[in-house]
Structure 1
Amino acid sequence: MAKDLALVLDVGTTSIKALVFDPERQVVAKSYRTISKHISLGGGIVEQDPKEILNTAQTVLRETVRDTGLSIDNYLGLGLTNQRETTVVWDGHTGKPVYPAIVWEDRRTKSRCETLAKTHGQLVREHTGLPIDSYFSASKINWILNHIRTDNTNWLAGTVDTWLMWNLLDSQPHLTDFTNASRTLLFNIKTKTWDEILLELWQVPARLLPKVQHSLSLFGHLRPEVLGSTLPVVAVCGDQQASMYAAKQAGASTKVTYGTGTFVMAELGEEFKLQDGFFTTLTPTKTGFIYAHEAKIGAYAQRIDELLIRGKSLDQVVREMTQATGQKLEQLSPTPNKIILDGGITQALTLLSAQQAANPNIQFVLQQPFDGTALGIAEMIFNQK
């Protein structure tokens, strides 16, 4: 019996997918479910139900494996990619979340972050590659600690990957990978450790935080009751870095993802560098990590969905989107020769030509399949054969 399939769980902000890839990197089965967000516009509050995320993840995994009609023995392993920064805090004894998941979009801590940025902004950027912003996890954990006034002795915290692994893997490991840790504002991307200075700044006890592993490593084994048999979890990576990994396999060191948001990522190498207009972050190689510059340009997916529902042309929004991306790409130094485009919006027929028109001196290539995030995780699984 051939053991040659990769099972991928892709946990996004609006949906959760499970996909099965064959050795030719073709998708042979896929299941998709939407998940809800609870939004209070007045307070900038955006939350999700951690239990819904967990239950939906199990549902799509079971549906996808069922649809292949193959034994779990045919799978090399499971990999997980996820929306980064979104934060879950739960009780390690009861397993119950102490508060809803606070989503990366949530802005309730905006004022607190702006105040801290005036005094500690440069220090934090030098340690993390990131600005002080409510986008990242630290202020979310701090907010929960300050507003849920119960005994927190047994509390655990983490990003979505950590929450899912704790619930789905044998022995309830409290783990994350370097890419997710690097988006918390608590992790020093130079020393690759939780940073005591940052923990003190955000008043987050180290005991709440997970152990950090390389993205391509054994995180544990799926509990048998999830899929009827155990399966090793051998890849965990934040969504944009997973997409970057797939682009690297396609011969590019820069990629653009057109999904819920538009993201640019360009590899830097082994030297830490800061650049205005970009985050500095970690992205995995097969055996280690290198630095990369990343920029989030905007969120066009909702506008496109509205136009599709109304039967309107996408040409204008595609032009706006590719021009904004093109301007950001021109800030990269050196200018990339080749860039991979991935994400659902790349299926718009005019996007490739519009991006090429915006940056005529760069070669743009559409990722195949377009779901570069899931493909990157599949590549990580296959690379460990």
Structure 2
Amino acid sequence: MEKKYIIAIDEGTTSARVIIFDKSQNKIINNTRLKFNQLFPKDGWVEHDPEEIWQTVKNAMDQSFAETKIKAEEVFGIGITNQRETVIAWDKVSGKPVYNAIVWQCRRTADYCKTLPHNLRRQIRTRTGLIVDAYFSATKMRWILQNVKAARELAKKDRLCFGTIDTWLVYKLTNGKCFYTDTTNASRTMLFNLSKLEWDDYLLDYFKIPKNSLPKILNSADDFGMAQTSIGEIKIAGVIGDQQSSLFGQGCFKRGQAKNTYGTGCFLLFNIGDKPNLTKQNLLSTVAWTINGKTAYALEGSVFNAGSALEWLHYNMNMIQNSFESSSMSSSLKSSEGVYVVPAFTGLGAPYWDSFARGLIIGITRGTKPEHVVRATLESIAYNCYDIVLQMQKNNIKLTELRCDGGVSNNNFLMQLQADLMGVKLICQENSDVTALGAVYMAGLQTGAYKKLSEIESAIGFDKTYTPIIMSQNKKTALMKGWKEAIKRSQRWS
């Protein structure tokens, strides 16, 4: 039977999505998305139920198979992309988690991070390309070992498994036979040596994390085992962290190309080629992907709250019904009348890196209306992304265009403001599921559905462009001055 389909599992922060891509038609023929619960046991803590994540992925796959009637023999393979930095610990023998997944947004280890000595911070920067922050996986693993008795007992018996979400899904899909991760996910743990492309013994020893509790590191396009699905065995042929997957799905294969994903958070990645750049700016150096043993690297700026800020406006504040309404409300005003919103619900990411910052609304007067707060919230996303571009410019990186994706990229007001601030063209794909497509393309390369990157490039289409409207430097300076002042007042609050 002729192979024609590639399956992508896109396990995100709030939902699991399964898409079935018909390579012969170059289009998605099925897209199933199921949400799972968000757990907030304490202020600043964020957790997920690992078994619920697995069941949600399984249900989404089964629903996709039922709706399309495809057969396993028709599938090239499965690609997995996932929320990064989130940690799960489980029993190697029983496969049972010993604690909830600690999510990338969780700030429970912020106080501990604050105590780490300057020398270690320098070592982490040099070895991993990252900065010390509760965002990354290492301190989450340490917390589990210190606070979950079952994890310590399993570690003594050499039965403890630590993994990011990709590793958990590979393990579950293969019925516990495969315990793997890829270089992109490993590079987000604060335990991965960016130059050697392996677990770093010095950091493992410092954080007291047993090396044998960590998965084997493979290429992003590789053989991750056979998934046992309801329609039969299917090869898992690609694994890549969600933001790197978006960079790949946008076709940013060449040095100098960049993308920004406007999802739960915003993640701007810039392809810097085949050598890591340990920038002195407040940006991260990370693996973009590894294919056939060759690694590409990226600089990254992470904004923790974007789509989550719009959800806050909707569910918590009842100010909007959806993202499209926020766009029209904002466009109806000439300005936000001096109102600034800093949506630091879980601290601030790049370029501020303050786990103790908290959200604020400032500049309110008797004339302030919900529309002003809505507009200021959208503006905050654009300002924070512009902050990252300014940091990149200090690192001698100049943007000429920015490829955009994610659900919030459908917000016309935000996208036009972003183009105006950055002074560059923003282009969006006709297919908004770019993160999932990155996993499709990665699995497609490994299974021979695609022979080379140029084939993928020719398959990508862009359908929307935001051309910058000239904004005077004085206006930019005034807007950003207010933003910086609002940021300053939100910092070190908690």
TM-score, normalised with respect to structure 1: 0.94
1:25-44 correspondence runs (5 A): 25-42=26-43, 44=44
Q: How big is the shift at 1:328?
A: 1.9
One-letter amino acid of the counterpart of residue 299, structure 2: H
Which of 234, 238, 247 is matched with 2:241 structurally?
238
Give 1:335's aligned residue. 398
Which of 413, 427, 441 is matched with 1:365 structurally?
427
Paired residue secondary structure (1:38): coil
The change in CA–CA distance for 1:25 and 1:126 in structure 2 (over 3 A counts) is farther
One-letter amino acid of the counterpart of residue 36, structure 2: I
Once the two structures are overlaid, the 10-residue window that deviates more, 75-84 or 278-287, is 278-287
Give 1:103's aligned residue. 103
Distance in 2 of aligned mates of 1:113 and 1:307: 31
* Alignment check: 8 A CA contact 2:252 2:271 kept: no
Q: How big is the shift at 1:203?
A: 0.3
* Alignment check: 8 A CA contact 1:11 1:83 kept: yes
Q: How big is the shift at 1:167?
A: 1.3
Distance in 1 of aligned mates of 2:175 and 2:204: 29
Task: Output one character per residue of 1:298-339: Cα deviation in whole Å (capped at 9) or x when no partner.
Answer: 412133235456345333233332233233223323212222
Paired residue secondary structure (1:114): helix
Which of 367, 374, 380 is matched with 2:442 structurally?
380
Q: How big is the shift at 1:248?
A: 2.5
The change in CA–CA distance for 1:63 and 1:132 in structure 2 (over 3 A counts) is same
Once the two structures are overlaid, the 10-residue window that deviates more, 296-305 or 226-235, is 296-305
Once the two structures are overlaid, the 10-residue window that deviates more, 123-132 or 298-307, is 298-307
Task: Output one character per residue of 1:248-267: Cα deviation in whole Å (capped at 9) or x when no partner.
Answer: 25877200000000110001
In the alignment, is residue 84 of structure 1 matched against residue 84 of structure 2? yes
Distance in 2 of aligned mates of 1:172 and 1:18: 22
Q: How big is the shift at 1:201?
A: 0.7
Which of 324, 334, 349 is matched with 2:384 structurally?
324
Distance in 2 of aligned mates of 1:118 and 1:98: 33
The change in CA–CA distance for 1:113 and 1:375 in structure 2 (over 3 A counts) is same
Give 1:56's aligned residue. 56
Distance in 1 of aligned mates of 2:431 and 2:309: 23
* Alignment check: 8 A CA contact 1:247 1:253 kept: no
* Alignment check: 8 A CA contact 2:39 2:46 kept: yes
Larger radius of gyration: 2
Give 2:22's aligned residue. 22
The change in CA–CA distance for 1:286 and 1:364 in structure 2 (over 3 A counts) is farther
5+ long unaligned stretches in structure 1: none
Distance in 2 of aligned mates of 1:112 and 1:171: 33
Distance in 2 of aligned mates of 1:175 and 1:285: 14
Give 1:350's aligned residue. 413
Give 1:284's aligned residue. 289
Q: How big is the shift at 1:118?
A: 3.1
* Alignment check: 8 A CA contact 1:65 1:72 kept: no
Which of 168, 171, 174 is matched with 1:166 structurally?
171
Give 1:261's aligned residue. 265
Distance in 1 of aligned mates of 2:176 and 2:98: 21
Q: How many residues align?
A: 381
Paired residue secondary structure (1:86): coil
Distance in 2 of aligned mates of 1:323 and 1:129: 25
Give 2:466's aligned residue. none
Q: How big is the shift at 1:12?
A: 0.6
One-letter amino acid of the counterpart of residue 146, structure 1: Q
Paired residue secondary structure (2:46): strand
Distance in 2 of aligned mates of 1:304 and 1:133: 25
1:170-185 correspondence runs (5 A): 170=175, 172-185=177-190
* Alignment check: 8 A CA contact 1:6 1:20 kept: yes
Identity %: 32
Paired residue secondary structure (1:303): helix
In the alignment, is residue 297 of structure 1 matched against residue 303 of structure 2? yes
5+ long unaligned stretches in structure 2: 331-374, 449-494
In the alignment, is residue 207 of structure 1 matched against residue 267 of structure 2? no
Distance in 1 of aligned mates of 2:286 and 2:390: 19
* Alignment check: 8 A CA contact 1:242 1:376 kept: yes
One-letter amino acid of the counterpart of residue 163, structure 1: W
One-letter amino acid of the counterpart of residue 194, structure 2: I
Paired residue secondary structure (1:331): helix
Distance in 2 of aligned mates of 1:111 and 1:327: 26
Distance in 2 of aligned mates of 1:249 and 1:136: 25
Q: How big is the shift at 1:60?
A: 0.3
Task: Output one character per residue of 1:347-372: Cα deviation in whole Å (capped at 9) or x when no partner.
Answer: 12333322221222x22210231122
Task: Output one character per residue of 1:6-53: Cα deviation in whole Å (capped at 9) or x when no partner.
Answer: 1000101111100011225422101111111210343x3211111001
Q: How big is the shift at 1:216?
A: 0.4
